Every structure is written in structure tokens, then in C-alpha cells.
Amino acid sequence: MISNIPKIAIIIPKYGFIGGAENFATELTTRIAQSSHFKIHVYANKWQPPSGNITFHKVPIITFPKFLTTLSFAFFVRKKIVQENFDLIHTHDRIFRADIFTMHGIPHRLWVNEVRKKRMSLFDLGTEWVERKLVMNKKTKKFLAVSNLAKEKFLQEYPHIDPCLVEVIHPGVESTRFEGHNRRLCNEEIRKNFGMDSKDIIILFVSMNFHIKGLDRIILGLSKLRSKNTNEKYKLLIVGKDQVRRYKKMAHDLGVEENIIFSGPVQKNTLEKIYLTSNIFAMPSRFDTFGIATLEAMAASLPVIISSNVGAKDVVKENIDGFILRSDDPEEMAEKLTLLAVEKVRVSMGENARITSKNHSWEITVQKVLNVYGVACGQ
């Protein structure tokens, strides 16, 4: 008997690894695969953990010379996919052809020129070429952007694309993720481990790219607070890894070295405890198409401070569950931190943030994507 269950191909170089796109694709695909509505095939170079509901296909990548990285992945995906008869191809990365393209970033040329402030390398030119092949392909039925910011930048680069073909579907968050922990016990454990006392106001920063995520802007904000001789004791807890020595020197020069703690990378369970222990989440990024850590912090009942260049501003209600910075002036950061130094304000906004996060669960995200699949498959 011939099955009428649609076959879906999911494309992403790394499945199940750390990263915004990787996390989005994994959470989404794993949940969809648990249903019996679609047969899911994942095409990736690496994956973890394996799933009994998903068929995985190994896709080679040539990483040397570097400019072949994107080109080779796209080439080998095309070569393997033509051997199958898929009802739908959904890619989370740049390949030559797909029915649906989820954009976790902005057009590559804009990323290099406007965000990184660099010239296009041979690798960048190759990546942009593959991207244009995908976008210009008439078989592409839908573009999914992770934020309105991502959609805006995409249409800026490709103004000929009908805006109706671009739909914003935010990443989700596991709304029950923190319910397995006792907040009081987490608070005692984390503060003891990092040498913080019960009166410290903990500002949490989570990133593997300190510059792009704006760590320097928080440090400068703390230095402004120090100059105002405030009585509050702030501790900036930095989770992740990057150029630690550079930022330690910056903090030392500004006189706020004792206010900063670098934890390095931590396990998922420890990060959850850190979220529950912290008081404020800050990510004044220079650019971030979404920033899933913002939504995770909100689910942990933290008020958030983000920049207007963070796509997660779509879900933040200004002055209700967080603040959106309008400039990179340290005075503005210091002002928001001062407002959140008041416990009653901080707790109230944190509770609002938790409620907001429930409207952005993975279940809601999955249903939106399934609706797109249904239309694309003619269901």
C-alpha cells in the first residue's frame, strides 16, 4: 500500500548542536517528527542526538579551502536530494533550491558589510552566490524570518521579493523548562559557587560573541553607576567564552573589575539555575536577528534590557516586561539598571516577562510552521 504521508527534507549543516539556528531547527523538527503527519528526513553534516522518528543523511562539507564550505554543502545536498522524491524541502541554511527557507540571519552581504564592517572575502562571495541562487529560484514558495528585523533586512537586500511570501515565525521557548528547579536552592548554590552574597543584584549576560552581543556596553553602564555612587551592589555574571582578557582589562580600567564574574561555558542544567538566580538579563547587541537567550530569560521571570537591534524586541513590551535601548549611550544603560534596582519593580516586570514567554512556546511555533507545511503540500 502506497503511503500518502508527505515526505519532508530538513536541511541544516549541524543538527542538535549549540547555536540559534541549530537549536531552532532541532526543537522544531523533533516535535514535528513526533507526530504521524509527516515523514522527516534530515540532511546534515553532523547531528546529535539521533532520533528514532527521523531519518538522517550524511552530507559532506569541504572546509579547505574555506570558500568551498557553503558551496560544497549546497552541492552535495542537491546531489543527494535528487535521489529522493520529497513533497517539501525546508532548509535552515543556504542551498541551491528549497520550497521553504528559514532565515536565521540576515542576507550575507549585509552581515559582512553592515554588521561586521568588513569587505567580502572569497568565502563571503561564495556564500552570497549560493544565497542568491536560492532566493531567486522560482520554486521557493515561502521565506520564514525569525523576526521582523530579519524580514526587514531580507526585503532590503531583495526588494523584488513579494513581502507576502515572507512570514515571521519566532523561535519558541520551553515554558516549563524551569519548573523542575527550586528557585531558592538554585539561588543559594549559584551565589555560593560564584562568591556572591544575597544582596547582590545579578545582571546576566549570555553569549559566545562578546563584541556583537554588546558586553562592553554593559560594562560602560556599570562604570556610569559607579560614578553616581549608588548604594546597590551589582554583579555582572558573564556566561560563555570569548576574549575574556580584553574585557577584564576594560573593567579594570573603568574601576568595575570587582563587579564582574566570568563563568565560562556551562552545562544546560547549570545555565537554568543561573537564570533562576539572576535578577536582570541584559543583551545590548550591535545586531541579533532574534536572540533566543532573551526569551529564555523571560521564561525564567527576568526583566530584560536589549537594544533596538535585537530581533527579540518583537516580544518585549516596553516598560512592562523589559526595556529596549534606543542608543548605545552608557547613561541609558545605567538609567535602566537603576530602575530595576528597585526590587518591587524588578519582580513585577519579571512576572510580566514570564507571562509573555508563555505566548511564545514551542508548541505555538510548531503549529505555525505546520500551517505553512500544510499550505505548501496542498493539504
pLDDT tens per residue across span 343-363: 999 999 999 999 999 999 999
Asked if residue 281 is part of any domain, the answer here is yes
- What is the mean pLDDT of the segment spanning 221-226? 92
Half-sphere exposure of 339 (CA within 13 A, CB side): 16
Query: CA-based Rg of the chain, rounded to a whole angstrom?
Result: 22
Looking up cell 505555538 gives 364
State the Cα–Cα distance between residues 114 and 112, nearest whole angstrom.
6
Examine the pLDDT at 230 and tell me if it is beyond 90. no
Provide DSSP, 185-243. HHHHHHHHHTT--TT-EEEEEE-S-TTTTTHHHHHHHHHHHHHTT-S--EEEEEES-S-
Query: Which residues are registered as beta bridge partners of 111?
Result: none
Residues 132 and 227 in one domain: no
Asked if residue 2 is part of any domain, the answer here is no
Report which of 286, 305, 117, 292 is spatially closest to residue 214, judged by C-alpha positions.
286
- What is the mean pLDDT of the segment spanning 184-207? 96
State the Cα–Cα distance between residues 96 and 71, nearest whole angstrom.
9
Residues 48 and 35 in one domain: yes
What's phi and psi for 211, nearest 5 deg?
A: -70, -55
Residues 96 and 65 in one domain: yes
Residues 152 and 127 in one domain: yes
Predicted pLDDT of residue 379 = 59
Q: What is the pLDDT of residues 166-183, one digit of tens each?
A: 999 999 998 788 988 999
Residues 272 and 261 in one domain: yes
Q: What is the pLDDT of residues 111-133, one digit of tens each?
A: 999 999 999 999 999 999 999 99
Asked if residue 78 is part of any domain, the answer here is yes
Looking up cell 539555575 gives 273
Residues 99 and 227 in one domain: no
Asked if residue 64 is part of any domain, the answer here is yes
Q: Is residue 152 within a helix (H) or strand (E), and if so which, with residue range? A: helix 148-157
Residues 325 and 350 in one domain: yes
Asked if residue 178 is part of any domain, the answer here is no
Count of beta carbons in the 10 Å neighbourhood of residue 31:
18
Examine the pLDDT at 276 and tell me if it is beyond 80. yes
- What is the mean pLDDT of the segment spanning 41-60? 91
Distance of CA 6 to the CA centre of its chain: 29
- Rounded to 10 deg, the angle between the 292-299 and 343-357 helix axes is 110
Residues 249 and 340 in one domain: yes
Residues 334 and 190 in one domain: yes
3-state secondary structure of 31: helix
Of the listed ranges 184-188, 229-233, 260-264, the one predicted with least confidence: 229-233
Provide DSSP, 359-373. GGBHHHHHHHHHHHH
Number of helices (H), then strands (E), in the chain: 13, 15
Q: Please state, rounded to an integer, the average pLDDT across all residues of the chain.
A: 94
Residues 6 or more apart whose CB falls under 8 angstroms from that of 109 comprise 120, 124, 128, 157
Predicted pLDDT of residue 44 = 97
Residues 157 and 45 in one domain: yes
Residues 6 or more apart whose CB falls under 8 angstroms from that of 224 comprise 330, 331, 333, 334
Examine the pLDDT at 165 and tell me if it is beyond 60. yes
Half-sphere exposure of 160 (CA within 13 A, CB side): 5
Asked if residue 1 is part of any domain, the answer here is no
Which amino acid appears at position 331 of this protein? E
Asked if residue 39 is part of any domain, the answer here is yes
Predicted pLDDT of residue 101 = 98
Q: What is the pLDDT of residues 80-98, one digit of tens each?
A: 998 889 999 999 999 999 9
Give me the domain span that covers residue 70. 7-172+361-376
Examine the pLDDT at 102 and tell me if it is beyond 50. yes
- What is the mean pLDDT of the segment spanning 221-228? 89
Is the peptide bond prior to 6 cis by the omega test (within 30 degrees of 0)?
A: no
Residues 296 and 218 in one domain: yes
**Contact at 8 Å (CB) between 295 and 357?**
yes
Report which of 257, 357, 376 is spatially closest to residue 316, judged by C-alpha positions.
357
Examine the pLDDT at 229 and tell me if it is beyond 80. no
Examine the pLDDT at 107 and tell me if it is beyond 50. yes
State the Cα–Cα distance between residues 204 and 127, nearest whole angstrom.
34
For the chain, what is the domain count? Answer: 2
Residues 146 and 204 in one domain: no
Predicted pLDDT of residue 124 = 97
Is the peptide bond prior to 49 cis by the omega test (within 30 degrees of 0)?
A: yes
Asked if residue 34 is part of any domain, the answer here is yes
Q: What is the CATH number of the domain that holds 261?
A: 3.40.50.2000
Provide DSSP, 254-273. TT-GGGEEEEES--HHHHHH
